[in-house]
């Protein structure tokens, strides 16, 4: 039912006998107009309260309150970390808390050290600002905030990683609903998946394989007491070491006593596609190739941890979905025409697209 003041006014006036004048400016019109205005405000307030009461529609602090009802909190942003190398006079001390910077960010050294005889010392540091902005590339850190005698230069020879944004409303809502659909109790598989998801916003998806040994020194198999948690990053691709360590640390603090836990990244299964295209006039192979790559990447993300094979037919559909592609010939995936099996510990990722 529409509840604007005009809609309410129509309903109010319809309840008054038509023998009376109800036109604008009449007695009945003027007495009902304020009622319609107040009723509209009440309906709006009811809608606002209703939206705050349900996870599906709550936002911001209201969503935080819904999470708190089930013992959950929004995942906080994290600070990127990495190593910085100081160059200078041997014997020069670098104190913990020394600050270095890139063009726009400041980083704080987390432990002290002394420049060795080779003229350098490498120390761990953390970005002062949380979020992905701190994931700076190699060489981004280039100076000290305050000059230190005996230090001539500073840089980072590796990229800083591990900085993630605060969990968004959409991400928090999805995590809440996932736990509602897959109840986590007493260390069951869903509990491990929930712990992995709440460890960091960098986790894109999770798969728990109970009683599975992920020891790379031999063929993985069913082993009592072993629990393997496989994770993907935010882009639904294999996770890096920092994210794996973050998830492992969190799970170790939450899990029941007795289980042997392995947290690992899913292994990338490269999907290489070879195809000959029939293009509409005015379209180039290069443009079509980029669009096809994006379409296949989206398909592979959709089936990550959800399906056990890559469909050649679906890849064909991805190709035909691209503007300018009229048809294709000689499609092969990983040098064959059969669907590609995905192992329990694998995630399909786009490999090389070759267009003939």
- What is the percent of the chain with per-residue pLDDT over 70, rounded to a whole number? 96
The pLDDT tens digits for 327-348 are: 999 999 999 999 999 998 899 9
Lowest-pLDDT range, 35-44, 205-214, 236-245?
205-214
- What is the percent of the chain with per-residue pLDDT over 90, rounded to a whole number? 80
- pLDDT of 222 reads 64
Q: Nearest CA to 314 among 281, 344, 339, 351? A: 339
- pLDDT of 218 reads 53
More confident residue, 221 or 284: 284
Angle at 81 between CA 77 and CA 84, to 5 degrees: 150
- pLDDT of 185 reads 74
pLDDT at 257 over 90: no
For residues 217 and 348, give the distance between their C-alpha atoms in angstroms, rounded to a whole number.
23
| Contact call for residues 124 and 104 (beta carbons, < 8 A) | no
For residues 117 and 214, give the distance between their C-alpha atoms in angstroms, rounded to a whole number.
43
pLDDT at 59 over 70: yes
- pLDDT of 90 reads 96
Q: Output the pTM of the full model.
A: 0.69
- pLDDT of 220 reads 62
Report, in angstroms and rounded to the nearest whole number, the Rg of the chain calculated over CA atoms. Answer: 29
pLDDT band at 148 (very low <50, low <70, confident <90, very high): very high
């Amino acid at each position: 039912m529409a509840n604007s003041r005009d809609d309410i006014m129509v309903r109010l006036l319809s309840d008054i006998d038509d023998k009376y004048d109800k036109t604008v400016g009449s007695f009945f019109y003027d007495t009902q107009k304020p009622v319609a205005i107040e009723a509209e405000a009440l309906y709006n307030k009811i809608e606002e309260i209703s939206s705050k009461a349900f996870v599906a529609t709550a936002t911001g602090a209201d969503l935080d309150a819904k999470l708190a009802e089930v013992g959950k909190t929004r995942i906080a942003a994290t600070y990127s970390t990495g190593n910085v190398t100081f160059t200078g006079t041997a014997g020069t001390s670098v104190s913990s808390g020394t600050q270095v910077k890139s063009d726009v960010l400041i980083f704080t050294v987390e432990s002290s050290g002394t420049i060795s005889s080779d003229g350098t010392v490498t120390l761990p540091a953390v970005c002062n600002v949380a979020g992905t902005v701190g994931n700076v590339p190699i060489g981004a850190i280039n100076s000290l905030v305050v000059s230190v005698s005996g230090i001539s230069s500073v840089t980072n020879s590796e990229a800083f990683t591990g900085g993630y944004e605060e969990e968004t409303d959409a991400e928090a809502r999805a995590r809440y609903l996932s736990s509602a659909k897959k109840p986590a109790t007493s260390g069951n598989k869903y509990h491990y998946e929930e712990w992995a998801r709440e460890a960091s916003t960098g986790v894109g998806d999770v798969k728990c394989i109970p009683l599975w040994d992920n020891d790379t020194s031999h063929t993985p198999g069913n082993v009592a007491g072993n629990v393997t948690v496989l994770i993907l990053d935010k882009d639904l691709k294999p996770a890096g070491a920092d994210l794996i360590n973050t998830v492992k640390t969190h799970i170790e603090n939450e899990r029941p006593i007795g289980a042997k836990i392995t947290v690992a990244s899913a292994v990338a299964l490269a999907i290489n596609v070879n195809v000959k295209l029939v293009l509409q006039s005015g379209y180039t192979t290069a443009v079509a190739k980029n669009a096809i790559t994006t379409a296949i990447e989206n398909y592979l993300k959709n089936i990550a941890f959800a399906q056990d094979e890559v469909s050649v037919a679906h890849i064909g559909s991805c190709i035909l979905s691209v503007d300018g592609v009229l048809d294709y010939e000689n499609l092969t995936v990983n040098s064959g025409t059969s669907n590609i099996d995905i192992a329990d510990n694998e995630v399909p990722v786009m490999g090389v697209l070759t267009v003939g």
